[in-house]
Amino acid sequence: MKIRLIVAFCVFLTLTTKFAASIPQTGENSYCADGGTWVGPATDGGAALPQHCIQTDLAHTPSPGSVISVPPGADLNQYLAQAQCGDVLQLAPAQYGGFMLPAKNCDSGHWIRIQTSATDGLPPEGQRISPCAAGVQSLPGRPAYSCPNPQQLMATISALPAPDVTAAPGANFYRIGPGIELTRPNSSDYSARLVDLGGGDHIIFDRVWVHGTENAAETNSGFNLTGATNVAVISSYLNDFKCIAARIGSCTDARGFGGGDDAAGLPEGTWKIYNNFIEASGENIIFGGAKRGTTTPPDIEIRQNHFYKVPSWNRNDPNYAPPSLRSRGYIVKNLFELKNAQRVLLEGNRMEYSWGGYSQMGFAIVLTPRGRWGAVEDITIRYNYISHVGTGLQIDASRSCTPRRRHRERCKDGSGPVKDSAGMARLSVHDNLVDDVNATYYLGGGSMAQVSSALRYNPPLNHVVLDHNTVVTDGIEGKILSMGTFRNNPQPKMGPFTFTNNIVRAGTHNGIWQVGRPLACVEDMQPIPTFSNCFTQFDVSGNLVVGWGAVSPGPAWPQGNQAPADYSTVFVNPLLSGGDYHVLPPYQNAGTDGKDPGADIDGIGQYMLAAD
């Protein structure tokens, strides 16, 4: 990666009216004060930021009780039943069975801790653990991790078919780790999930290795957070969550993290996912999706993680090998998806590899509410570096059910037809770098984003801000935006919509493409009529539309946008992958706010440096 990395000390930027928070915050508890109060600005670009948080450092999670040694192979449930609030259970670097966290009515001054006894060789607090601490020098196909001295330091929890860790209703104030490996037997049997925390509250996983098997056995989920509150997973490593395609597998959406699907009305939310390596074939993280969900989880913090899919799972990869002769490989969907969540911050993450060929278009990020209760609202996506994908974002306010004559019964519950999801509003997407967008190799649409709405009864997609993003594509498909209101016409207009100060590539289609039926709001790929037809209000200005009109006389874009001929006139180093994307004169300071167009490359670099 050739992004210029700098560390800025004591840098204070003037807050703009659009973005109240523009300075990178890379610390574990940067946004969290005593008592779980979110600190700093309350909004970003009109999207509300989380209101509550969980402090995850050891200083704020004390365990002042007894230290209890648990012999190899002992029943952890018995030791947990006898443990007092504040005790520390030390496990030998050996194998144990699964366990349930019991309800003991603990408090914030007395956390029960479950950790390895061999802590001396582990990474210190705040540094990500790796399989090296379980004696694994490297994992094929994954980014290299430092492993000068591989040794077995972790205690291994392994159970099948039951999860390794579950929580009894009311279980609270548990800290698991450091040095715990959560896995399943190396067999061909299917495993639904390894950790299921429904009913739990204030549970932290710190420096744990959570994984499926290296063989073709399916492991659907790492962490299920549905029905859990105040949960954090920090400085950990997740891999080998995968489902097999071609209808021969037992699952479809393998994920590292899932949640937001509660049907019992339990509270859930205030989740923190920080400084982890997260690998899964379906969605690395997904919240929502089940039509039975009755609540929307709020206050979700996802920062400085490394999202990853193994490149050889892509059938275009020269090392591709399907898990069986009958399958089409592992089912791949996207890196991050929200179908039911509110007040979410996705910040400073490295996100790599997503391709189509199954049910999606190689999206990196998907925002689309589902289910009668599903809402996607107040979402902030900033300072992420995304690479090797078929398409950037899908922003789609979808209906939860489309009645059809043969399947009309599927659209009903006890109160009548289920027509719309709850809604989608207030999205702030800024200062993200997306490079190596390749529609052919990654089987996608090649565009920056799809922006569409099919809601007819609830308010349509509204208050979307895309500002200061840099998107580097191969230009073959050449779409900037795919837009539409579709499925049922006439549809209400979306909006307001802000598309400002981005660096994008028009390519062969001059930028605008249609999704939906022919009567959708896109007008013959013409930018100005399309924006007028699709949105109640729009601001499209300050953008660099690279290659606009280069293939044929370009359609008119709104005034206030520029059309460089090629990336070479825009970037210091115009490589399609891993270039130096600082802008050249005369485009410096040419944004509507006096800043350089495109993403804050130095700000993103600070996050990438902090994660190393």
- By CB neighbour count within 10 A (0-12 exposed, 13-18 middle, 19+ buried), where does 105 fall? exposed
Is pLDDT at 429 greater than 80 in this prediction? yes
- Return the percentage of the chain with pLDDT > 70, whole number: 87
Q: CA 8 to CA 23: how far, in whole Å?
A: 10
Q: What pLDDT, on a 0 to 100 scale, did the predictor assign at position 291?
A: 66
**pLDDT tens, 107-145?**
999 999 999 999 999 999 999 999 999 999 999 999 999
Average pLDDT over residues 201-228: 95
Span 126-136, pLDDT tens digits: 999 999 999 99
Distances in whole angstroms, Cα of residue 33 to Cα of each of 109, 136, 170, 344: 16, 37, 24, 18
Is 104 or 487 the better-scoring residue by pLDDT?
104
Chain segment 400-413, per-residue pLDDT in tens: 655 544 444 444 44
Residue 595 to residue 65: CA distance in whole angstroms: 54
Reference 90, options 209, 177, 8; nearest CA is 177
Residue 284 has pLDDT above 60, yes or no: yes
pLDDT category of residue 608 using cuts at 50, 70 and 90: very high
Q: Is residue 507 over pLDDT 50?
A: yes
Look at strands 195-196 and 165-167 and give their pairing: parallel
pTM for this one? Answer: 0.93
pLDDT in tens, 232-251: 999 999 999 999 986 677 89
More confident residue, 207 or 524: 207
pLDDT of 11 reads 26
Q: Are strands 412-413 and 416-417 parallel, antiparallel or unpaired?
A: antiparallel
Across the range 311-324, mean pLDDT stands at: 91
pLDDT digits (tens, 9 = 90+) for 527-584: 888 888 889 999 999 999 998 876 556 678 899 999 999 999 999 999 999 999 999 9
Is the per-residue pLDDT at 587 higher than 90? yes
Burial grade of 146 (CB within 10 A; 0-12, 13-18, 19 or more)? exposed
Please give the domain boundaries of the chain with CATH numbers for all domains: 32-403+417-487 (2.160.20.10)
**CA–CA distances in Å: residue 277 to residues 210, 350, 436, 478:** 10, 9, 21, 32
Q: Is pLDDT of 153 > 50?
A: yes
